[in-house]
Amino acid sequence: MDASIAIHGGAGTIPAAMLDAAIADEYHAALRNALQAGWNVLAKGGRALDAVTQAVIVLEDDPLFNAARGAVFTSAGTLEMDAAIMSGRGRDAGAVAGICGPKNPILGARIVLEHSGTVLMAGKGAEDFLRGQGIPFMPPEYFFSDRRWRALQLELRRREAGAPDTRSDADRHGTVGAVARDLFGDLAAATSTGGITAKPPGRIGDTPIFGAGTYADNATCAVSATGTGEVFIRYTAAAEIAARIRYGKQSLEQAADEVVAELLRHGGDGGLIAIGPAGLPELPFNSTGMYRGFIGPDGVPHTAVHRDAYRRL
Amino acid sequence: MDASIAIHGGAGTIPAAMLDAAIADEYHAALRNALQAGWNVLAKGGRALDAVTQAVIVLEDDPLFNAARGAVFTSAGTLEMDAAIMSGRGRDAGAVAGICGPKNPILGARIVLEHSGTVLMAGKGAEDFLRGQGIPFMPPEYFFSDRRWRALQLELRRREAGAPDTRSDADRHGTVGAVARDLFGDLAAATSTGGITAKPPGRIGDTPIFGAGTYADNATCAVSATGTGEVFIRYTAAAEIAARIRYGKQSLEQAADEVVAELLRHGGDGGLIAIGPAGLPELPFNSTGMYRGFIGPDGVPHTAVHRDAYRRL
C-alpha cells in the first residue's frame, strides 16, 4: 500500500499578478512544512489520522492561514473557530464549532472524536469540555493578527457605506485541511478554519459538517474542502463525491472534478483535496487559486498556489 | 402531481406492553393534529416548505414530544434545541443548533433559511439574530416539563452510581419531523429536537446536519430522521438514501429500508421518514417503535406507534 498526503491552505488566494515573489515563497515553505509534518508520520508507519492531525497543526500555527493563529474575525470582532477530523476506518469522527481558546482547534476535534461520546460540540459547552481534557489553551491575543483586524474594519466600513463587495477570495474566507492514506490503507481527513471575515456570530460553515467539508470512508475517499461553506453544505459536497464513486462507478478524479464544477454552478466557489484507496490525491478548485500540496510515493513535496505547475522540492 | 405528507414524533417510544390505551390515544390524536396542519397547507395548493413547517410547529407545541415545549435537559439542567428545514427546490436550507428561546425552533430554522445569508447558526449568536427578526420567544419555564426534569435526575443519579443504562429509547431521545410533497412536485423536510437527556452541553446531533438528519432534493427525496444522532452523522444517513436513489438506481423504499438496517449494524437505532417525487412516503425504523403517520392522496390520516397496523381516521 502506498502512503500519500495532500493539504490545502484555503481556496482564497491572492490573484497571481498581485502575489509578490517573496510572499509566494513564504506560502510554498509553509505548505512544505505542513506536508513534511504529515509525511513524517506516514513514512514511519504511523496512522493517517495522526498524519492529518500533525499537518493541520502546522497550518493552524502559521498566521499566514485562516485557522487558529491568524483566524478571521466575526462582525462582532470576536473569533469563532471550527475544526473537524474523521477516520475512514470505522468512520470515527469529531468536530468543534464556534470555539475560541484551544491553541489547536483540530486537537479539540480529535478529543471530541476520542473522548466525548459524541461527534460535534459547539460554543461554550465545547470549550468547557476541552478545558477539562487538558489540551493547551491560549489567550485571545495569541489568535489576533493585525492583518485580519484591518480586513474586518474594511468590510464593516464597506457594509456601512453600502458599497459593492470587491473583496478577493483571499479576503473573504480561507480554511486549512489535510487528507492522507497510510501504509495500512486507512484514510483520514482533517479541516480547520476561522470562517469568513465579518461572518455573523454563531454562523457555522461546512468545515465541521461531515459529508460537506470533511469526510473519510476507507471504501471511497477522504475529503477536506474549502470555499463557500453554505453551498458545500446544501449540496453535501464530500458525500456527493463518495456517492459518485460508490454507486456511480466514477473515478476519484472524475467525481472530485465534476462536484467542484457543479458547486460553482450553484454559486459555490472553492476547492477540495481528496484521496482514495489507491493512487495520488486529487486537488481540484474552481477559484483563481488554492494553496495546496501533496506528497506521493516518491516522498517529494509538491506545492502550488495558482494554476501553474507544482514546485517540487 | 399527488400531494402527500409524513411525520414522526421520534423513534424513542414506550414498549408496546407498557403503553396505556388512553396515552396511546393521546399520541395518535397529537400525530393526527400535526398531519392535518400540514395537509391543510398542501390541499389548498400551498408549498411543501410551509406544510412541514406547520406540522412541526404542532409537534413542537405539544409537550408529549421532545422538541421545544417538552424538550429534554442537558446534564447541566439547561435546554439546548436544534432544528432544521430544507426545500427540495433549489436546496435552500436553514438550521439552528443549541438554542433556547424561540417558541418554535423550526421557525428559527426557517428564518435562517430566508434571512440570514447562511445555513446553520448556533448558540447565543443564533438567539440574538432571531430575536432581531421578531419571532416569538418564551421564558425557560415554558419549555420546562416535570417529566423531563425527573428523567434528568434519574439519569444523573444512575451515572453517579455507575449503574448500567437500562433506559428505554423513549427516555433517551426523541425528535419530531415532517416531510412533504406539494401539488407542484416540490419536496421539503423539517426536523426539531431537544436532543438526548443529560447530553453534554454543546453537543449537536444529526437534526441540523443536512445530509444526516434533514435533507431535501426534488430529484431524489426529502428525509427527516430520528435516532442515535452520532451514527446518523458519521454515515450521512439522509445523503446515503439520496445517493442510492440517484446513482444506485434503488427505489425510495429499498434505499430507506437498507439504510435504516445498515445504521443499526453500526449501532444507530432509530428511524426516518422519506418521500420521493411520486408515491407514498416510507417510514422505516429499527427500534421498538416510532411515533409516525402520513396522509396520501385519499386525505386520510394514518397513524402508528409500534409495528401494528396504522389507525385510519
% chain B with pLDDT above 90 = 92
Written as one letter, the residue type at B77 is G
The closest of A56, A96, A289, A291 to A179, measured between CA atoms, is A56
pLDDT band at A170 (very low <50, low <70, confident <90, very high): low
Rounded to an integer, what distance in angstroms lies between the CA atom of residue B251 and that of residue B7?
A: 20
| CATH number for the domain harbouring residue B94 | 3.60.20.30
Q: Which of B86, B118, B217, B245 would best serve as a mutation to test chain A binding (most A beta carbons within 10 A)?
A: B118
Residues of A catalogued as catalytic? 175
**Mean pLDDT for the stretch of residues A231-243:** 98
Answer whether A240 sits within 8 Å of B244, measured CB to CB.
no
- A123 closest CB neighbour out of B98, B128, B215: B98
A95-104 per-position pLDDT tens digit? 999 999 999 9
Place of cell 488554492: A290
Interval B146-159: pLDDT, tens: 999 999 999 999 99
Mean pLDDT score, A204-210: 98
Q: Across the A/B interface, how many CB contacts are shorter than 8 Å?
A: 152
Query: Model's pTM, two decimal places?
Result: 0.97
CB < 8 Å to A239, chain B: 211, 236, 239-240, 243
Residue of B nearest to A231 (CA): B119
Per-residue pLDDT at B150: 93
Average pLDDT over residues A43-68: 97
pLDDT of residue B295: 98
Q: Which residues are CB-neighbours of A121 under 8 A, at least 6 positions away?
A: A95, A96, A97, A112, A129, B200, B202, B203, B204
Q: Does B73 touch chain A (CB under 8 A)?
A: no
Using 50, 70 and 90 to split pLDDT, how confident is the model at A292? very high
Give the pLDDT confidence score for residue B17 in this predicted structure: 84
- Confidence at residue A200, expressed as pLDDT on a 0 to 100 scale: 96
Q: Which residues of A touch B122 (CB under 8 A)?
A: 97-98, 122-123, 202, 204
pLDDT of residue A131: 97
Residues of B in contact with A119 (CB under 8 A): 230, 233-234
Q: How much is the average pLDDT of B284-306?
A: 96
Taking residues A295-311, what's their average pLDDT? 95
Percent of chain B past pLDDT 70, that is, above it, reads 98
B270-275 β-sheet, strand order: B214-217, B221-227, B270-275
pLDDT at A185 over 70: yes
Of chain B, the end-to-end C-alpha distance in Å amounts to 24
Q: Compare CB distances from A91 to B200, B209, B234 and report the shortest one's residue.
A: B234
Q: Cα angle at A163 between A159 and A168, to 5 degrees?
A: 85
pLDDT at B167 over 80: no
Q: Say yes or no for a CB contact (<8 Å) between B212 and A212.
A: no
Q: Does A133 reach chain B within 8 Å, measured CB to CB?
A: no
Using CA coordinates, name the residue in chain B closest to A250.
B247
Report yes or no for ipTM above 0.90.
Answer: yes
- DSSP H/E element including B94: strand B93-99
Active site residues of B: 175
Distance from CA of B205 to the nearest CA of A (A): 7
Please write the tens of the pLDDT for every residue from A115-154.
999 999 999 999 999 999 999 999 999 999 999 999 999 9
Distance from CA of A49 to the nearest CA of B (A): 16
Least confident of A124-128, B12-16, B67-71, B74-78: B12-16
* Best mutation target, B130, B196, B204, to test chain A (most A CBs within 10 A): B204
The confidence score (pLDDT) of residue B191 equals 98
pLDDT for A235: 98
Chain A touched by B83 (CB under 8 Å)? no
Domain around A78: 4-312
* B203 part of contact set with chain A, CB < 8 Å: yes
The pLDDT of residue B203 is 98
Contact A120 B236 (CB under 8 A): no
* Residue B25 contacts A where some CB pair is shorter than 8 Å: no
E strand residue ranges, B170-277: 176-181, 187-193, 214-217, 221-227, 270-275
DSSP state of B180: E
**A296 CB burial (10 A radius; 0-12, 13-18, 19+):** middle
Is residue A270 a contact partner of residue A225, using CB atoms and an 8 Å limit?
yes
Task: Compute the nearest-CA separation of B32 from chain A (Å).
Answer: 31
pLDDT of residue B18: 84
Asked if the model's pLDDT at residue B1 lies above 70, the reply is: no
Chain A: give the shortest CA distance to residue B283, in Å.
Answer: 23
The answer to whether A92 touches A86, Cβ cutoff 8 Å, is yes
Q: Which of B91, B124, B159, B234 is best to mutate for the A interface (most A CBs within 10 A)? A: B234
Name, in order, each residue with C-beta under 8 angstroms of A39's C-beta and a sequence gap of 6 or more: A3, A5, A51, A295, A299, A301
Check residue B169 and give its pLDDT: 67
Q: How far apart are alpha carbons B27 and B170 in whole angstroms?
A: 13
In whole angstroms, what separates CA B253 from the centre of its chain?
Answer: 19
pLDDT for A18: 84
Q: H or E segment at B303?
A: strand B301-304
Q: What does DSSP assign to residue A93? A: E
Provide the chain B residues 143-202 that lie in CB contact (below 8 A) with chain A.
199-202
β-partners of residue A225 are: A272
Round to whole Å and give the CA distance between B263 and B285: 10
Which residues 233-272 of B have a C-beta within 8 angstroms of A? 233-236, 239-240, 242-244, 246-248, 266
B92 touches chain A (CB under 8 A): yes
Instruction: Give A204's contacts in chain B (Cβ within 8 Å).
Output: 97, 120-122
Closest residue of chain A to B234, computed from CA coordinates: A91
Interface of A with B in 98-127 (CB under 8 A): 98, 116-127
Please name the residue of chain B whose CA is at the shortest distance from the CA of residue A85: B234
Residues of A in contact with B80 (CB under 8 A): 125
List, for residues B189-235, the tens digit of each pLDDT value: 999 999 999 999 999 999 999 999 999 999 999 999 999 999 999 99
E strand or H helix at A142 = helix A140-143
Number of structural domains chain B divides into: 1
Provide, as residue numbers in chain B, all residues whose Cβ is less than 8 Å from the Cβ of A263: none
Q: What are the DSSP E strand ranges found in chain A? A: 4-8, 81-87, 93-99, 120-122, 176-181, 187-193, 214-217, 221-227, 270-275, 292-295, 301-304, 311-312
Output the average pLDDT for chain A.
95
Q: Which amino acid is at A291?
A: Y
Instruction: Report the residue of A217, A233, A259 to disrupt the B interface, i.e. the one with the largest count of B CBs within 10 Å.
Output: A233
**Residue A13: its pLDDT value, please?**
73
**Are A116 and B204 a contacting pair at CB < 8 A?**
no
Residue among B117, B126, B200 minimizing CB distance to A129: B200
Which grid cell sits at B2? 399527488
CA distance A170 to B119: 22
